[in-house]
Structures are given as C-alpha cells and as structure tokens.
Structure 1
Amino acid sequence: MSRVIDSILIPTDDSEGAIAGAKYGIALASRTDADVHVLSVVEAGGETDDLDDGSLSTLEENAQEATETVAKLTREFDEELDVTTTVERGTPFQSIREYAHRRDIDVIAIGTKGRSGLERVLLGSVTENVLRTVRTPVLAVPPDADVAAIDDVAFDDVLLPTDGSDGAAIAAEWGIALATLLDSMVHSVYSVDTNAFGGAQDPSELLDALERRGEGALETVRERARSADVSVSGSIANGAPATVITEYATDNDVDLIVMGTHGRTGIGQWFLGSVTENVVRQTEVPVLCVPVSAASP
C-alpha cells in the first residue's frame, strides 16, 4: 500500500454504538487522510419479508438518514475528507463484508453494540459476525470508549499484545505502521498463563521456558519498532492473556489495542480467536483486530 490506510468503512444503524464507532473511524480517517465510506443495511428476510413497499421505503429512508448523520459528522470535522454514503438491502454482516471486499476497504470501524446490543459483556451479533468473517482489519469500538467529540479521540499509546505467533506478527506490522503515522508510543505485552500449567513438568522450569519465549517475542516487536523509529516498551505479565491485556490497557491509559484475530490456538480464517474475542468483549479500549489474511501495511 502507498499508505497504511487509504479507505475506511463505517457501518451504521444510527444507534449510540454505531456513532461511537463512527467517531473513531472519522478521527482515524482524518489522521491518515483516508476516504470514508458510510454504509447502512436494511436487513432482508425474516420480519421484513412481511412488510409492504411503503414500510420498506420507510426503513430505507431511515437508513439513508443514518448514513447522512455520519457523513455530516465527517464533513464538519474534516471538510477535506472524501465521503461516500450507501444504503443496501441484505444481511448486515454479509453486506459489510462484501462491500469491504468490493471497494478494497483497508479498515472497517464499527461499534461493538448496535440496536440489538443488550449488555456490555455481549458482543453485538453484527459486529461479532463481521469480526469472524472479514479479511479486513476491524476497529471494534466498545460503548465505554465513546467520546463527547471526535477531537477527544486519541491514538497516543498503542498496545501490541504478542504471543510470538504469525497472527501477532501481522498485527504488530499494522500497529507499528500506524504508530509511525500517528506518532504513537508502542507498548507490547506477553502473558504467561500459569493457570495452564500441568503436572507433567516442573512448574518453575516451564515458567522459565515461557518467560524466555516471551522475551524473544517481545524483542521481535522491539526490533521492528526501533527500525521504524517508534518509541517502544515491552513487559511480561502472569495471568490469563485476555485479563493481562485488558488490565494493562486500563492501567497504562492505552488508547488503542492492535492484535491478531488468531494466535497460537487459531484454527482458521472463519473463526475468531478466543483471546481476541474476550478482549473485545471485556475492554473499554478500541481494538483493531487484524486477520491473518490482511494485506501487509
């Protein structure tokens, strides 16, 4: 790519969660000079099959208004950004995925709760399906990350969790490239999950081995960051990976987490890694989820 991000897709249903995602997407687009695409999907099938043309037209008008709300936010914040609005009928996550593929979108910015979101610990079904199926990095924005104004969005501190896997390496490439563009400080953390120890090996020996592996994984991130002239720190922590990551982000006032959708336990493109899913569910910080199939920045 000539830039890390040339285009950002912002799906919207005009919910508070969607607007939270839009604010971060707009801020990122402004900082990277990316084109903005705003998409609202009128769900086809199910209850909508029984609606008459007038009712469907009303839904489409509401969807158009939702896209115009985000477009207005974008233009008011940065009038130089190019904005495209689109309304489609279909299954929301499939339409988002297909639009991103068709338009060669670089990042999808989406709130983790839409109109069907119930509790903070539950991922919105559309967001979850997008995360599970797209080949494009997804900026997942939780409700607690919402800001009063787009000016309040910060990318000063970026956290790159690592487990030494290929997925983590791809995410680190994206995170460091973004940090270069955004003038961010990079943090990296490796978690040693002592709860996973079995009785077949001396715990102290296993701990030493895992810590050595962690130092190697962290040094790889450090080397990449230093070669990009990006400030970087790294640390090893004991505990379940999702807990370590979310607590580190909170304790260190991290603005963005960048992590792969698959780590050492990932089994395929169509599945969201359990650590990533738990981080997205639990954190109050936006998470850029980078699939293993994402193009290198």
Structure 2
Amino acid sequence: MLHAAHILCLGSSTSAAGTQAAHLARRTGATLHVMPRPSGRAGAGPTGAGPGSGAEAAVPAHVVETHPRSVTAVLQYVGDADIDLVVADTPLDRGPVPPLATDLTRALTRRLDRPVFVVERQDDPDVVQRLLVPTDLSAPALRAFRHAVALARLYDAAIDVLHVIESVPYVALTPTDRLSLGATTLSERRGRRRLRAFLQEGEAAGVQVQSHIMRGAAADQISRFANQGDVDLMVLSAHGSDAEEGPLGPVGARVLGRVTRPLFLVRASGPSLLGPPDDAA
C-alpha cells in the first residue's frame, strides 16, 4: 500500500502534474500542496480551492506562492512541510522529452532524499497501465520494485521487470566460461532465479508481473525497451555513488538522458512511501 501524508505539486492545479498529484492525494488521503509555475493560475490564497472539481475538489490543498524554479525554495519547503512525494511535469512547449529535461527536475533528483514523480502531459491518470522496473537485483532496486507494486495496485496496472546482463569478453575458456557460453548462461540462470523472488512478491500483492532478461549494455537495452514498448511509467532506483554522476549512477544517468517516458524515482535510502516495515514486506 502506498502511504503519503503530504504531496507537493510543482505546477498549476490544471497541469498534468496537478492532475496526477491530485489523483495520488485523493487515493492516499494525503494533503496536496500546490506550487504554481509563474504562468500557472494560483489559488485564491494560502488555503484556496483545490485542483479540479468534483472529486478532485475534495482533496485538501495548500497553495504556495513560491517560484518553482528556485531549487533552494523548493528544498526548503519540502523539509519544512515534511513532503513525502514531489510531482513535477515536463515542459509544455516541447514534444516528448526526457524526464530530467529541466534544470529544476535535474536538481531535485540530485538533492532531494525522497521520491520524485515526473509526469507527461496526459490529462487522465488512469492511462498508467504498464510499469517498467529496470533492476540490477540489488537491495535498492528491490525497494524500487516494492514501490512499483504499490503504484500498480493504486493504478490497477501491470509491471514489467527488466534485468540486463552486461556482455563481457572471455579471455580464457575455463569450465565456468564454457558453462556460460551454453544455450542458457550461468549469469542468466542466476538472474532468473533471483527474479523469481520479484515475481512471487508481486503475485502475493495481487499484481501481474512479467520478467525480462536481455543481454548487452544496460543503458542501451533499458532505453530501447522503455521507448519502444508500451510503457506508461518507469520506476527507477537512484543508488549511484559516483560524485560526478550523482545519485542516479552512470547507467541511470544515461537512461534518463534517452527515455521519453514518465518517471517515478525512488531513493536508495531516506523516507519511504511504503509505510511501516511490515507493510513494505
């Protein structure tokens, strides 16, 4: 189950980010905080009407008159208001672009310690029907998968889990090498065995999960799968440690420079949307 008490929307209440943020706030019972762009319409005041009408209007909203391109102001507000999730959107004046196409979203992914949801310009949150979770089978990647399961339950969506086996040249044909050169490689068998744990966890939560194993360069295969497949949302773990690449790591940074799909970025540590440990398990 996805848990959030406070969700911050970086955009107007009528933007794609506003629609998705209101949808998530309504489903999780969270308070929605709206930080309009300079061109967006602000609310009637500090406690103006919430986004949309009808069911959307029932979402409690607090409209914040702060310039969203001021990263320092956003980070300060996230901490002061104890925000659990930040929702932003891609530029309105361009075609399909990578989720980190703006300085603001790039800065947020590097400096925030909580999930960031970058959406496209769709008006209907229910179009999210297929989630992609690239995984290196690490503990942070498992955390991202568990968030994907919670999102899939919320959107009634299915999950594709993708694991890429990097191609490695062989210098000598040891017995292990010969085993790896067989019809099914040793690394592939290990990957499938560990992916079964992902499948079982998704099935236990009542979510349809399909696993995929591909060979080649991880960034290339993930980008190709995301852009060519019928993917509505990519759920990615940020657990890089390289100072130059930042929290995304080298593979994540390359992927997010190429894909043009909405992104839900999960931090390797820090606040979680999974609720108590027992619920996350």
Which letter maps to 1:191? V
Q: Secondary structure at the match of 1:105?
A: coil
What is the Cα deviation at residue 188 of structure 1?
A: 0.7
What is the Cα deviation at residue 231 of structure 1?
A: 1.3
**Alignment partner for residue 161 of structure 1, among 108, 128, 134?**
134
Note if 1:21 corresponds to 2:21. no
1:49 — aligned with what? none
1:279–1:112 Cα change, 3 Å: farther
1:146 — aligned with what? 121
Alpha-carbon separation, structure 1, partners of 2:42 and 2:166: 44
8 Å CA contact 1:140–1:280 kept in 2: the answer is: no
Which letter maps to 2:32? V
CA displacement 1:194-234 (0-9 Å, x = unmatched)? 2xx24445576557233133213321211211121211111
Which letter maps to 1:138? V
- Root-mean-square deviation (CA, aligned residues, Å) is 3.3
Q: TM-score, normalised by structure 2?
A: 0.77
1:45 — aligned with what? none
Q: Secondary structure at the match of 1:273?
A: helix
What is the Cα deviation at residue 292 of structure 1?
A: 0.8
CA displacement 1:144-202 (0-9 Å, x = unmatched)? x322xx226522211121111122011011111222232221211101222xx244455
1:137 — aligned with what? 115
Alpha-carbon separation, structure 1, partners of 2:88 and 2:159: 23
2:278 — aligned with what? none
1:191–1:85 Cα change, 3 Å: same
For structure 1, the residue ranges without an aligned partner over 5 or more in a row are 42-61
What is the Cα deviation at residue 92 of structure 1?
A: 1.9
Which letter maps to 1:136? R
1:222–1:118 Cα change, 3 Å: closer
1:56 — aligned with what? none
Alpha-carbon separation, structure 2, partners of 1:33 and 1:157: 24
1:66–1:270 Cα change, 3 Å: farther
1:295 — aligned with what? 271
Which letter maps to 1:169? L
Alignment of 1:219-258 (within 5 A): 219-258=196-235
Figure out how many residues of one structure are paired with residues of the other and give that number: 260
1:181 — aligned with what? 154
1:118–1:213 Cα change, 3 Å: same
Alpha-carbon separation, structure 1, partners of 2:59 and 2:156: 21
8 Å CA contact 1:24–1:153 kept in 2: the answer is: no
Which letter maps to 2:128? F
8 Å CA contact 2:96–2:260 kept in 1: the answer is: no
CA displacement 1:62-100 (0-9 Å, x = unmatched)? 47x54439x878233611111111123697222222322
Note if 1:103 corresponds to 2:78. no
Alpha-carbon separation, structure 1, partners of 2:235 and 2:142: 11
Alpha-carbon separation, structure 2, partners of 1:241 and 1:72: 45
Which letter maps to 1:254? V
2:249 — aligned with what? 273
What is the Cα deviation at residue 19 of structure 1?
A: 3.4
Alpha-carbon separation, structure 2, partners of 1:225 and 1:165: 17
Task: Give the structure with the higher percent helix.
Answer: 1
Q: TM-score, normalised by structure 1?
A: 0.74
Q: Secondary structure at the match of 1:75?
A: coil
8 Å CA contact 1:163–1:214 kept in 2: the answer is: no
Q: Secondary structure at the match of 1:21?
A: helix
Alpha-carbon separation, structure 2, partners of 1:255 and 1:118: 16
For structure 2, the residue ranges without an aligned partner over 5 or more in a row are 275-281
